[in-house]
């Protein structure tokens, strides 16, 4: 064989290796494998669930129900679908999260005992009178990556929530660095078939999710939660803003939050 022939042969081999993305499974199967959120009425809107291994953004104003939705995603995953979950909280302390969880008819403590639900507290600490910093004991971006990788590889975590990633953008001036880090995290999670939700808190305009540009870079889908006041009650809504690979319902739907969690009502 001529030198040229050999080279193109090995190039071809190399190319084959590099293009074999989905080992052992058909691409079709891989792309369509879904994991139900378990949130009542929601999976029906998105062809049965989220695509396994993908990253989703949940965005909305304060009080919209982002944390409850995310916690329920992990709760249902662990209790109904045998998918252990990890909740990384950047803003609300673990105590507060668990206290709020007690308002629901969910036995979170039991799941925590069984290591089917893990909560990692990466909350901000007060530094002097004005500044806030991420707890340096627990946190730097490498620390976050290592925590997630360990959880996924050693503990078999299948669902991850980061709540809210917008805190990272406020903390670090270099938006590009955070975006890159989140991208690296998202790729690692995808490789390990771990479905994840990155929460972003928006200002008053709940559709203004482009603030940090995360969704266009790494999210497979964006779900927006919001509420509107009517007299003395809050009407709550969910909207699937975009979802790759999914024929989803367009437009907003009403949701309610009760002791049983989030439900899409109509």
Is 63 a binding residue for ligand ADP by CB under 6 A? The answer is: yes
Is 68 a binding residue for ligand ADP by CB under 6 A? The answer is: yes
Of 40, 52, 66, 116, the one binding ligand ADP (CB under 6 A) is 66
Determine the Cα–Cα distance for residues 178 and 168; give it in Å rounded to an integer.
7
Q: How far is the CB of 153 from ligand ADP (least distance, A)?
A: 29
| Residue number, 35 or 67, with CB nearest to Mg ion | 67
Q: How far is the CB of 66 from Mg ion (least distance, A)?
A: 5
Buried b / exposed e over 78-112, threshold 16 CB at 10 Å, is bbebebbbbbbbbbbeeeebeeebeebebebeebe
Cβ-in-10-Å burial (0-12, 13-18, 19+) of 216 comes to exposed
| Residue number, 89 or 246, with CB nearest to ligand ADP | 89
CB of 50 within 8 A of CB of 132?
no
| Residue number, 67 or 202, with CB nearest to Mg ion | 67
Q: 87 in helix, strand or coil?
A: strand
| Residue number, 41 or 156, with CB nearest to ligand ADP | 41
Residue nearest to Mg ion (CB): 67
- Stretches 4-12, 14-22, 35-43, 251-259: which one binds ligand ADP (CB under 6 A)? 251-259
CB of 94 within 8 A of CB of 121?
yes
Is 257 a binding residue for ligand ADP by CB under 6 A? The answer is: yes
Is 67 a binding residue for Mg ion by CB under 5 A? The answer is: yes
DSSP conformation letters of 183-237: HHHHHHHHHTT-EEEEEEE--S-TT---TT-HHHHH-SEEEEEEEEEETTEEEEE
Q: How far is the CB of 66 from ligand ADP (least distance, A)?
A: 3
Is 64 a binding residue for ligand ADP by CB under 6 A? The answer is: yes
Q: How far is the CB of 164 from ligand ADP (least distance, A)?
A: 8
């Amino acid at each position: 064989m001529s030198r040229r022939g050999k080279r193109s042969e090995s190039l071809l081999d190399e190319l084959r290796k590099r293009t074999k993305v989905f080992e052992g499974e058909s691409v079709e199967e891989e792309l369509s494998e879904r994991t139900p959120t378990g949130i009542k009425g929601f999976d029906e809107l998105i062809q049965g669930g989220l695509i396994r291994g993908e990253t989703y953004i949940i965005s909305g104003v304060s009080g919209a129900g982002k944390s409850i939705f995310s916690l329920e995603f992990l709760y249902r995953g662990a209790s109904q679908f045998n998918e252990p979950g990890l909740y990384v909280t950047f803003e609300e302390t673990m105590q507060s999260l668990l206290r709020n969880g007690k308002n629901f008819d969910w036995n979170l403590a039991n799941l925590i005992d069984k290591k089917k639900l893990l909560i990692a507290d990466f909350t901000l600490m007060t530094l002097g009178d004005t500044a806030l910093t991420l707890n340096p004991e627990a946190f730097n971006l490498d620390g976050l990556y290592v925590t997630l990788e360990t959880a996924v590889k050693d503990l078999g975590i299948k669902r991850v929530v980061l709540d809210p990633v917008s805190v990272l953008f406020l903390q670090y001036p270099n938006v590009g660095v955070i975006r890159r880090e989140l991208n690296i995290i998202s790729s690692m999670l995808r490789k390990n078939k771990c479905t994840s939700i990155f929460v972003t808190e928006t200002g008053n305009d709940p559709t203004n999710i482009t603030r940090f540009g995360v969704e266009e870079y790494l999210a497979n889908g964006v779900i927006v939660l919001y509420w509107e006041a009517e007299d003395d009650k809050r009407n709550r809504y969910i909207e699937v803003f975009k979802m790759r690979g999914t024929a989803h319902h367009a437009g907003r739907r009403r949701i309610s939050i009760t002791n049983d969690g989030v439900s899409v009502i109509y």
